Structure 1
């Protein structure tokens, strides 16, 4: 049953990631991968929020592992960072790497704090 919940969450998260990435990136005329950055930070905030809620294993499998796992994308982040470095946009590559890690961790923490504030 848990595997099915993960699959269902991922079936929603993956297409949403693609659509959100394209929508955000289309609004920016920049080499910086704003679409991937946005979905990764947003997904981190949502996952932090979900983890801090008093939810059961089924909800974590569906929304956390499935949805957030498919919404966020470490492989695309890695690829785009290396592509920027190879294209001599090293400052953008460094900003993407540092900003994504700090932004993702900060967003996850913010999501946790928000969930705790709502539930207490």
Structure 2
């Protein structure tokens, strides 16, 4: 049953990642990977929220592993950073690394804080 919940969450998260990435990136005339940053920050926030809420194993599998696992993308982040470095856009590469790592940790922490505030 858990495998099916993970698959269901991933079936929703993966297309949402693609569509969100394309939408966000289309609104920026820059080589910076805004779309990937957006989905990774959103996924980090959701995971932080789930970590602080009293959800069961089934919800964790569906939303945490399945949905957030497919929504967020470390491989695309790595590829885009390497591509920026190869293209000579080292500033954007460094900015992307810092924004993703610091922003991801911050978004996760914010999600946890929101969950703690809601659950009191």
Give the structure 2 partner of residue 105 of structure 1: 105
Which residue of structure 2 aligns with residue 86 of structure 1?
Answer: 86
Q: Residues of 1 paired with 2:46 and 2:54: CA distance? A: 14
Q: Which residue of 1 aligns with 2:60?
A: 60
Q: What is the number of residues matched between the two proteins?
A: 120
Pairwise CA RMSD: 0.4
Distance in 1, Cα, partners of 2:3 & 2:116: 28
Matched residue of 2:44: which SS? helix
**Any gaps of 5 or more consecutive residues in structure 1?**
none
Please give the TM-score of this superposition, normalised by the length of structure 1.
0.99
- Which residue of 2 is the match for residue 95 of structure 1? 95
- Aligned residue for 1:24? 24
Length-normalised TM-score, structure 2? 0.99
* CA positional deviation for 1:98: 1.2
Please report how far the alpha carbon of residue 85 of structure 1 lies from its aligned counterpart in structure 2 after TM superposition.
0.3
Which runs of 5 or more structure 2 residues have no equivalent in the other structure?
A: none
